[in-house]
Structure 1
Amino acid sequence: MSLTAAAPHEATADLTVEVHGLRNVKGEVQLCVTQRREFLKCDEDPAARTAEMATSDVAPVTFKALPAGTYAVLVLHDENANGKMDKMLGIPKEGFGFSGNPKIRMGPPKAHHVRFELEPGQVEQRVKMKYLL
């Protein structure tokens, strides 16, 4: 009689992100979920999960079967749909948001303000958009 060990089952979670507070329905909304500590470079993370949708279709987005761990969510309201954050004198002209909804002071938030633990199961993050100009 031969016994084989079952492969260890990696704990996963479904992360649902709700975006609130868009100032208009121009362009598109881009979401990025990353485990990198350098969360602002989410687009450079090959393991990041992304989604994009027209602002008229904004609805909760679910990222399925993410490994449990520490994550950050970034959201961009790309009003002119050019695929990047437009700035004026270094200040974002388009809306943005982060998991944890940190207060925005001078510069971007620190990693510990936007990172959260993703536990196995269903998890929700509500991201409120911020506009500086």
Structure 2
Amino acid sequence: MAELTVSVAGLRDHKGNLLFCLTRRTAQYLDCDKDPGAVHGSVAASVGTLDFQHVAPGEWALLMIHDSNMNGKLDKRFGIPREGFGFSRNPAIKFGAPSADDVRFEIPAGESHQQIKMRYIF
């Protein structure tokens, strides 16, 4: 089995929660909540580090949202995120969400680390 530590960088503030979803369905990573094998949940934004234990080694994708108003979703205006978001491998953000290839990463057996840089458009 594997252990993954994820540190969160670039939080605008420590209000609200961080919503996260770690999925092996990398091609459909944006629909992570529909993956019964996904690891998802929320933690206080002030935590700054997430620890995933007993994860199966292999390819994964991680999506994170800074839910500053604690309503349990990513707020958008005209389709543009109004809250912070981040992806595994920190791909460049252009128009729309990054591709599955841009967020897919390998979790090896043992311990590994990933840093998620939060991004804000507004």
Question: Which band: TM-score by shorter chain?
Answer: over 0.9
Matched letter for residue 30 of structure 1:
L
For residue 32 of structure 2, what is the aligned residue in structure 1?
Answer: 42
How many Å separate the matches in 2 of 1:70 and 1:55?
26
Partner of 2:44: 54
Alpha-carbon separation, structure 1, partners of 2:85 and 2:21: 11
Pairwise CA distance, 1:30: 1.1
Q: Does 1:71 align with 2:57?
A: no
* TM-score, length-scaled by structure 2: 0.95
* 3-state DSSP of counterpart to 1:132: coil
Quote how far apart the aligned CAs of 1:55 are. Answer: 1.7
Q: 1:97 corresponds to which letter in structure 2?
A: G
Deviation at 1:122, TM superposition (A): 0.3
Deviations, residues 78-105 of structure 1 (Å, cap 9, x unaligned): 0110000100000000000001000000
Supply the distance in 2 between the matched residues of 1:91 and 1:76 (Cα, whole angstroms). 13
- 1:29-62 CA distance string (max 9 Å, x none): 1111000020011111111112311123x13211
Whole-Å separation in 1 of the counterparts to 2:78 and 2:41: 28
Q: Partners in 1 of 2:100 and 2:21 — Cα distance?
A: 15
Answer with 43-52 or 95-104: which moved more. Answer: 43-52
Q: Measure the CA separation in 1 of the matches of 2:43 and 2:106.
A: 26
RMSD: 0.9
Identity of aligned residues (%): 48
Supply the distance in 2 between the matched residues of 1:19 and 1:39 (Cα, whole angstroms). Answer: 19
Which runs of structure 2 are paired with 1:5-24 in the superposition (5 Å)?
Answer: 12-24=1-13
> Is 1:132 matched up with 2:109?
no
Q: TM-score, normalised by structure 1?
A: 0.87
Q: Name the CA distance, whole Å, in 2 between partners of 1:42 and 1:30.
A: 12
Give deviations 1:87-130, integer Å, cap 9, x for gaps: 00000000000010000000000000000111101011000000
Structure 2's unaligned 5+ residue stretches are none
Q: Corresponding residue for 1:117?
A: 106
Pairs aligned (count): 121
Counterpart-to-counterpart distance in 2, 1:28 and 1:119: 28
Post-superposition, which runs of at least 4 consecutive aligned residues in structure 1 deviate over 4 A? none
Aligned amino acid, residue 28 of structure 2: E
Alpha-carbon distance in structure 2 between the residues aligned to 1:92 and 1:30: 14
